[in-house]
Structure 1
Amino acid sequence: MFFYSQQQISDINKANYQSLVNLVGKCMNGYQKLAELNMQTVRTIIDESNNFPTDEISEKSDNLPEWQSSMLTQFPEKAASYNRHFRSIMLSTGAEVMRETRRQYESRGNQVDAIFEEAIEKATAATARAVERLAANVVQPAQDSFDATVKVEERSSSEAFAQGTKAGDDVVAAIEAPVETHTKSANKR
């Protein structure tokens, strides 16, 4: 016995596919933001390295260590900024995926409840039909047989009572007949 009809299976498959598309879309949005962050970081690094004063290096050779020193002092701040943006993107993507998952869980929970309610209704209807069939096939013939037996017994009892009454009347008549004959003959003497 299947709990799902073909239409319900088709609807569930469509919903599963849509859930997958939604989740992949949320993940891809996160990856796109991460790719944009990485591109922005690479552009910033390229721009900063292009802004290095090449003319001054040829005039002053001690300028290179200063530039490296300034770049190295900015590195922890830039790395922390990148890390904050990276974490923000990952957390927002995770939150969106969790919201979508929760929404799908709630909608599937309602679908499962509806399927169980439908199964209970079908089982109740099947049980009612089985009880009706049982009543029609077993109980009603038994009741009819019982009623017929009761009628036969009532007829037999009434016939037996009538025969008993008649026999009793015959006995009384038989007893009274000799007494009357004896009384008549005694009166004649």
Structure 2
Amino acid sequence: MTYTAEQIIASNKANAQAFEELTTNAYAGFEKLVELNMTTSKTLLGETFSHFQSVLGAKDAQEFLALQAGLLQPTAEKSVAYGRHVYSIATESGAEFTKAVEAKIAEAQTEFGAVVENLAKNAPAGTETAVAAFKSAISASQSAVETAQKSARQAVKAVEANITAATNQAVDVATKVAKKR
């Protein structure tokens, strides 16, 4: 199989476009994180000053302690919500990247398969056994790649489930601690 200049140019254009899309998606994720951090910082600053004013206005130690204890649960809940939002942005960006990489891997496997088929058709007489062994090895390696991709997806799902469970547990603990005070 020989490649023409037009095919090489088209391939380079497609790769450049894929790179541009990945870069744009990565930048969009970064923008979302910056926006989240700016909003969170602004909100936190306002709430901190408001709480500080309330504490300064406390009439006695009992009211002071009640104000401090009342701050614990909302802070924990907001921290968990912030973590979930960051995780959501990272997951979304990672999914786009994974989708693009998997598409390129599939494309490369297809092209490689075509090259192998072309080589097999043009192989000298008497090399059928070697060609069959080579094709079998290629098929096995592609199967291994697919299995690894499937395992990686399952691992990501398991991690996501564990993070969700840990987050929910943290919220429950924070809620219980706040109620005890």
TM-score by length of 2: 0.52
| Match of residue 11 from structure 2 | 12
- Quick one: structure 1 residues 88 and 56, their matched pair in 2 at CA, closer, same or farther if it must change by over 3 Å? closer
- Quick one: structure 1 residues 66 and 107, their matched pair in 2 at CA, closer, same or farther if it must change by over 3 Å? same
**Radius of gyration: which is bigger?**
1
The AA in structure 2 aligned to 1:87 is Y
Say if 1:4 and 1:115, in contact at 8 Å, map to a contact too.
no
| Match of residue 30 from structure 2 | 31
Q: Identical aligned pairs, as a percentage? A: 28
- Quick one: structure 1 residues 33 and 56, their matched pair in 2 at CA, closer, same or farther if it must change by over 3 Å? closer
Say if 1:30 and 1:90, in contact at 8 Å, map to a contact too.
yes
CA–CA separation in structure 1 for the residues paired with 2:9 and 2:115? 14
- Quick one: structure 1 residues 23 and 55, their matched pair in 2 at CA, closer, same or farther if it must change by over 3 Å? closer
Q: How far apart are 1:53 and its partner, in Å?
A: 6.1
Unaligned runs of 5+ in 1: 128-189
Say if 2:22 and 2:97, in contact at 8 Å, map to a contact too.
yes
CA–CA separation in structure 2 for the residues paired with 1:119 and 1:5? 18
Please report the RMSD computed on the Cα atoms of aligned residues, expressed in angstroms: 3.3
| Match of residue 44 from structure 2 | 45
Say if 2:55 and 2:67, in contact at 8 Å, map to a contact too.
no
Say if 1:26 and 1:96, in contact at 8 Å, map to a contact too.
yes
| Match of residue 74 from structure 1 | 74
- Quick one: structure 1 residues 59 and 66, their matched pair in 2 at CA, closer, same or farther if it must change by over 3 Å? closer
User: How far does the alpha carbon of each residue in 1:48-68 deviate from its partner, in whole angstroms, 9 at most, with x for none?
Assistant: 123236387267475655444
TM-score by length of 1: 0.50
Relative contact order higher in (CA < 8 Å, ≥ 6 apart):
2
| Match of residue 172 from structure 1 | none
Say if 1:3 and 1:115, in contact at 8 Å, map to a contact too.
no
